[in-house]
Amino acid sequence: MRIFSKNLRLQDITIMYFTALAALMVILVASYQAPNNAVEVSSLKPNPSRPLPPLPMPFRVPLDPRGELQLAWNVSYTNQEIYMELRVAELRHGVVLGMSDRGELTNADLLVLWDSGTQSYFGDAWSDSKGHVSLDSQQDYDLIEAKQKAEGYYLLFKRPFSTCDPRDYVIEEGTVHIIYGFLDKPLASLDKLNLSEIRTGVQRVLMLRPDTPPPTLPPDVQMLDVVAPNVIIPNQETTYWCYIHNLPENLAKNHIVMYESAITPGNEAIVHHIEVFECSPDVPAVPGYSGSCDDKMKPKKLNFCRHVLAAWAMGAEAFYYPPDAGLAMGGPGSSRFLRLEVHYHNPLLISGRRDSSGIRLYYTPSLRRYDAGIMELGLVYTPVMAIPPKQHTFYLSGYCTSKCTQTALPSGGIYVFASQLHTHLAGRGVRTVLVRGGKELEVVQEDQHFSTHYQTIRVLRKMVNILPGDVLITKCTYNTEDRSKPTVGGFGIMEEMCVNYIHYYPRTQLELCKSHVDQGYLQKYFNFINRFHGNDQCVCGEVSVTEQFSQLEWDEFTGEVLDSLYNTAPISMHCNQSTARLFPGDWDKQPIPAVTSVLEKPQYTCKRGTLRTN
């Protein structure tokens, strides 16, 4: 077979060769520089028919410790969409922004802005179990605008809450772990990117916020700053700084109607979260203190300052009380001592930085109709509630029973308008649900991506009315895969809690509505498990509960029986008044409230017309 004609000249062959080579190069360049589905940023044209979100964006948070990235956003509940604006102070060769279950770089939902050396691209992407990045076949981040301004490079884009793409993150109420990264060199192809090889970080935010306008403040409102006294931030990654603030003597009763953060300029990326606690009125004097909250030499009376007055976390906006209610400050039966706690996150180990951050309280002497109150729901702080080691998922539930609400609540009930969820390091999720007549009626608050490193008071989108006879169940999810010993309940950071501090009005004498398993039934559990494993010399009752848990032989059966115990055994109720005394009644060996009907899991409408259930 003759491939070439004998009359074909060498010059013709050369031309054919270079033509084929040029065609191959065009194909290769196109495959590397014009990835399928990605947007070429330079070709983006303004679309006058596309509605822009209201500006400026109401919610914003710095993402990295240097303040190079700032994320702002707005929420459209009508369209089930979030508009986001990312500011990059100094754009090099691109940025990565994404969301994952707990801030992991693996199996993350991403958007990437990158340049190939000649062109810039924007695309929806995802990372696999090893951090390798690929462009998503379904592009759900809609780029609206990309523009260089004096303050930096701005990207304006939007995304639905849910996309029906199994690789995408469902944006729902609760904590969202935002991951970010910087690209310091061009990318010939996005699939050359591995997130483990670039500078990255994580930030936590509440993306879905109430869309109701804040109430108007009264004309006689006054301000009180509870702030750190010009402290030098330690050059270590994590510091909890405590300071005792004294209120004026003989302060008359006022109502706190709003509070917000007061952050020292320049420290916005270091001040992570702030809390203000009221000290117990039973403690007549609390000594002055300004220092580490973990200092073993700090005054012991600081431990009596646990009543949460205000809480703020990075990215949170001002907190407003409902128009009919305010939180009492001053007057008879109150303490004039407040404990400020500031969490500094200083991963760059910056030295010599001074800080006077804290909380600014807005209060009025014109008292509103109702005092607001704070009530603790969930589990009592006790080692009888424990989590086995090596657990991917383990649940504990605390109950506020119908008997307690029937005893303590007024006939019209109370209205819950905000809550603060709380666990320690093993906590992964918290959910409080209202049960009426044995049926789950509505969720008070839920966060299935909860992190103990992000705890703030969350305003409910809709107030919840709790009536006498209602039941409140607070269920916490834990993960102890990294632990070889059981985790018991208690105050230590390596122990666990399951709490929801609900903010409500009108204030009642019910300050704590929590439970724990009956200790007699727990002792029966210890006896049974020890005998099952051939240990007939049980020391049950002779040593502490913590020690009994640690002496058990932990296998799958031991954990399953403990789970069954917690879900069936009688409970002891703590239906406590503000004096810390129980309401009159028999609160031991109470049955676990029966739930005959549960709420369906929320469904989200996707742009392709189907539904995805979380």
What count of Cα atoms within 13 Å lies in the side-chain half-sphere of residue 200? 23
User: At 229, is the secondary structure helix, strand, or coil?
Assistant: coil
Token duo for residue 138: 């379904």
Residue-wise DSSP of 372-428: -EEEEEEE-S-TTSEE-SS-S-EEEEEEE-HHHHHHHS-TT-EEEEEEEEE--TTEE
Q: Strand runs (DSSP E) across 14-164, as ranges?
A: 39-40, 59-62, 69-76, 81-88, 94-100, 109-115, 120-127, 133-135, 142-149, 152-160
Phi/psi for 352 (5° steps) reads 75, 5
Phi/psi for 184 (5° steps) reads -100, 0
Token duo for residue 376: 């603790």
Residue whose tokens read 């006498």: 468
The residue among 546, 563, 566 whose CA lies nearest residue 485 is 546
Q: Which distant-in-sequence residues (6+ apart) come within 8 Å of 395 by Cβ?
A: 475, 476, 477, 478, 563
* Contact (Cβ atoms closer than 8 angstroms) between residue 573 and residue 403: yes
The residue among 503, 524, 589 whose CA lies nearest residue 319 is 503
Token duo for residue 247: 């209120």
Q: Which distant-in-sequence residues (6+ apart) come within 8 Å of 489 by Cβ?
A: 379, 380, 381, 382, 383, 384, 385, 386, 495, 496, 497, 498, 516
* Beta-sheet pairing, 81-88 with 94-100: unpaired
Name the β-bridge partners of 121: 40, 114
Name the β-bridge partners of 259: 319, 361
The percent helix, strand, coil of the chain (3-state, each to 5) is: 15, 40, 45
* Contact (Cβ atoms closer than 8 angstroms) between residue 393 and residue 479: yes
Phi/psi for 128 (5° steps) reads -90, -170
Which amino acids are annotated catalytic?
Answer: 240, 422
* Contact (Cβ atoms closer than 8 angstroms) between residue 500 and residue 419: yes
The residue among 81, 102, 108 whose CA lies nearest residue 162 is 81
